C-alpha cells in the first residue's frame, strides 16, 4: 500500500516519519502487507533528509501515479491545497488532512467531491491535534442528537492563560514565553485573536448540526485584551478563564455558536485543562456528557491523527459511506449570539462607590459581587444574573456611576 504526503513541513515530516517508523504495526492493524510513503511533494529542497529520494516538486508525480491510493495533505492554506485535494479526489485517491483552514472554508465541496468519486476525505487532525475527536463524534456518537460541543481548541492561548492563572504573569510576558518555546508564531494573531479556534469551532459545529457552518458567521473574540485583574477576580469566585469555542443547540433548532474567553467553574474538568493541552466536551441526548483530552498541536500528535485517517482509508477501501454527515451550507443554523441568555462577569470603576452599588441594584437586581484583597478602592466586579446578552449590554450602557472595563461570559453549566 503506497501513500503520498503533500507538504514536508512540521506535520508532513511527522507523518512520513511515523508511517515509516511504525510501518509494521500499522500494516498489521490495517490488515495489509505493508504501508509505505512513496512520494512527498514540496517546492523546497531538503538535502540530507532520509526522505530525499521520495521528494518531488511535481504534483503530477502523485496525482497520476496509480499505485498511490491515499494522499496526506499537510500543506496548509487554501491554495493550492484546494486544487490539489480536488484533483486527488477526482483521481480516485483518498485524501486526509490537517488543514483546518481548508476544511472550514471548503469542507462541503470537498466532501461532496469525495462522495462522487467513492473515496474518503478525512480531517481528524484539523481539530484537537492528536485527540481522537471527529471520528468519535461522527461515528461512535452517530445515534445522538448533539446538544452541545464546547472546547479548549487552541493550545497557544491555553498555555498563555495557564501562565496568567497559575503564575500571575501578564499577557505580554506569557506570550513571549510561548513564542520562545515554539508554542506561538512570531505573528501570533491567528491564535490569540481566535481565528484558529474559530475554524475549529466551525468544523465541530458543522458536525453537530449537519450543515456546513461558515467560520465568518461565528462571533469571535480572542484573549489579547484579557487582564490579570480579571483572571484574579475569576479565581476568587472559583472560575478559570479559558478561551472556549462553543456550539449549543437551541430550542428553535439553531445553534448558539461562538468563540471567546469564558469563566469556567473549578467544578468543570475543562477548568483543569492546562498548558498546551486541548479538551472538548460533547453532550449528546443519549450519551450525556463526554470529554476528550490531549495534545492539540505539535508535530507527532498531529501526525498521529493524520496517520489514523490513513489507516482508516486503508482499512475501509472505496465505496464505504464514511462521510461525517456534513451537509450543504446553511447560514441560518448560527443564531444571533446577542439574543442568547447568558451570565456576564463585569469589572469596572465606580465614580462613587455607594452610588454605583445603588445604581447596579436598581438596574440589574441582585448581582454576585466578587472581592479580592488588594483591589483599587473604586473597583467593582460582579457576575450578573442570566438574561439575554443584548439586554445585559444595554443595561451596562445606561450606567452613570460605573464605567465598564471588562466583560466576560460566564459558563456556569459546563
Question: Measured from the CB of residue 139, what is the shortest distance to a second copy in angstroms?
Answer: 6
10 CB neighbour count, 10 Å cutoff: 18
The answer to whether 302 and 125 are in contact (CB under 8 A) is: yes
The residue among 3 and 381 lying less far from a second copy, judged by its C-beta, is: 3
β-strand partners of 260 = 244
The answer to whether 148 and 281 are in contact (CB under 8 A) is: yes
- Of 274, 269, 414, 404, the closest CA to residue 349 belongs to 404
Question: Measured from the CB of residue 80, what is the shortest distance to a second copy in angstroms?
Answer: 26
Is residue 106 flagged as an active site residue? no
Q: How far apart are CA 139 and CA 132, in angstroms?
A: 11
The answer to whether 16 and 55 are in contact (CB under 8 A) is: no
The residue among 319 and 398 lying less far from a second copy, judged by its C-beta, is: 319
The residue among 169 and 291 lying less far from a second copy, judged by its C-beta, is: 291
Question: Measured from the CB of residue 237, what is the shortest distance to a second copy in angstroms?
Answer: 19
Chain mean position to CA 286: 24
Burial 373-393 (b: 16+ CB within 10 A, else e): eebeeebbbbbbeebebeebe
The residue among 286 and 354 lying less far from a second copy, judged by its C-beta, is: 286
- Of 323, 305, 329, the closest CA to residue 111 belongs to 323
The residue among 57 and 318 lying less far from a second copy, judged by its C-beta, is: 318
Catalytic option among 93, 106, 200, 211: 200
Query: How many CA atoms lie less than 13 Å away from 357 in the CB half-sphere?
Result: 8
The residue among 145 and 185 lying less far from a second copy, judged by its C-beta, is: 145
Question: Measured from the CB of residue 112, what is the shortest distance to a second copy in angstroms?
Answer: 13
Question: Measured from the CB of residue 49, what is the shortest distance to a second copy in angstroms?
Answer: 19
Question: Measured from the CB of residue 353, what is the shortest distance to a second copy in angstroms?
Answer: 39
- Of 95, 119, 333, the closest CA to residue 207 belongs to 333
Outline where DSSP puts E strands in 127-227.
146-152, 219-220
CA 44-71-36 angle, to 5 degrees, is 90
DSSP 137: I
Chain mean position to CA 105: 14
The answer to whether 332 and 146 are in contact (CB under 8 A) is: no
> How far does the chain reach from its first CA to its final CA, in angstroms?
44
Sheet holding 36-41, edge to edge: 55-56, 36-41, 2-6, 68-73, 94-97, 121-122
The answer to whether 291 and 280 are in contact (CB under 8 A) is: yes
The residue among 209 and 263 lying less far from a second copy, judged by its C-beta, is: 209
Question: Measured from the CB of residue 26, what is the shortest distance to a second copy in angstroms?
Answer: 6
Residues of the shown chain interacting with a second copy in the complex, contacts defined by CB under 8 A: 14, 18-19, 22, 25-26, 28-32, 124, 130-132, 135-145, 210, 269, 272-273, 284-295, 298, 300-301, 303-305, 307-308, 310-312, 314-317, 319-323, 325
Positions marked catalytic: 200
Amino acid at each position: 500500500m503506497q501513500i503520498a504526503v503533500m507538504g514536508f513541513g512540521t506535520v508532513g515530516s511527522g507523518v512520513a516519519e511515523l508511517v515509516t517508523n511504525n510501518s509494521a504495526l500499522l500494516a498489521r492493524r490495517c490488515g495489509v502487507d505493508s504501508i509505505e510513503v512513496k512520494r512527498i511533494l514540496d517546492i523546497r529542497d531538503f538535502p540530507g533528509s532520509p526522505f530525499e529520494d521520495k521528494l518531488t516538486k511535481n504534483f503530477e508525480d502523485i496525482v497520476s501515479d496509480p499505485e498511490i491510493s491515499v494522499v496526506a495533505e499537510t500543506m496548509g492554506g487554501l491554495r493550492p491545497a484546494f486544487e490539489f485535494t480536488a484533483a486527488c479526489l477526482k483521481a480516485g485517491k483518498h485524501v486526509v488532512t490537517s488543514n483546518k483552514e481548508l476544511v472550514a472554508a471548503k469542507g462541503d465541496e470537498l466532501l461532496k467531491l469525495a462522495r462522487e468519486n467513492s473515496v474518503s476525505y478525512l480531517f481528524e487532525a484539523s481539530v484537537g491535534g492528536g485527540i481522537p475527536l471527529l471520528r468519535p463524534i461522527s461515528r461512535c456518537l452517530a445515534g445522538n442528537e448533539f446538544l452541545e460541543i464546547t472546547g479548549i481548541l487552541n493550545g497557544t492561548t491555553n498555555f498563555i492563560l495557564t501562565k496568567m492563572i497559575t503564575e500571575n504573569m501578564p499577557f505580554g510576558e506569557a506570550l513571549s514565553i510561548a513564542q520562545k518555546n515554539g508554542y506561538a508564531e512570531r505573528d501570533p494573531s491567528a491564535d490569540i485573536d481566535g481565528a484558529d479556534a474559530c475554524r475549529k469551532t466551525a468544523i465541530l459545529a458543522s458536525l453537530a448540526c449537519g450543515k456546513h457552518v461558515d467560520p465568518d458567521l461565528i462571533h469571535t473574540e480572542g484573549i489579547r485584551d484579557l487582564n490579570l485583574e480579571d483572571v484574579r477576580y475569576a479565581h476568587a469566585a472559583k472560575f478559570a478563564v479559558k478561551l472556549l469555542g462553543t456550539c449549543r443547540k437551541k430550542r428553535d433548532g439553531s445553534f448558539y455558536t461562538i468563540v471567546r474567553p469564558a469563566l469556567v467553574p473549578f467544578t468543570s474538568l475543562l477548568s483543569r485543562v492546562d498548558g498546551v493541552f486541548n479538551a472538548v466536551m460533547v453532550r449528546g441526548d443519549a450519551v450525556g456528557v463526554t470529554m476528550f483530552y490531549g495534545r492539540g498541536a505539535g508535530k507527532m500528535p498531529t501526525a498521529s491523527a493524520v496517520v489514523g485517517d490513513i489507516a482508516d482509508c486503508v482499512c475501509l477501501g472505496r465505496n464505504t459511506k464514511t462521510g461525517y454527515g456534513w451537509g450543504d451550507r446553511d447560514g441560518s443554523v448560527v443564531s444571533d449570539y446577542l439574543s442568547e441568555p447568558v451570565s456576564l462577569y463585569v469589572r469596572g470603576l465606580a465614580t462613587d462607590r455607594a452610588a454605583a452599588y445603588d445604581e447596579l441594584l436598581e438596574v440589574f437586581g441582585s448581582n454576585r459581587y466578587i472581592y479580592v484583597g488588594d483591589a483599587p478602592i473604586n473597583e467593582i466586579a460582579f457576575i450578573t444574573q442570566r438574561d439575554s446578552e443584548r439586554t445585559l449590554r444595554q443595561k451596562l450602557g445606561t450606567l452613570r456611576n460605573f464605567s465598564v472595563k471588562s466583560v466576560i461570559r460566564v459558563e456556569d453549566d459546563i
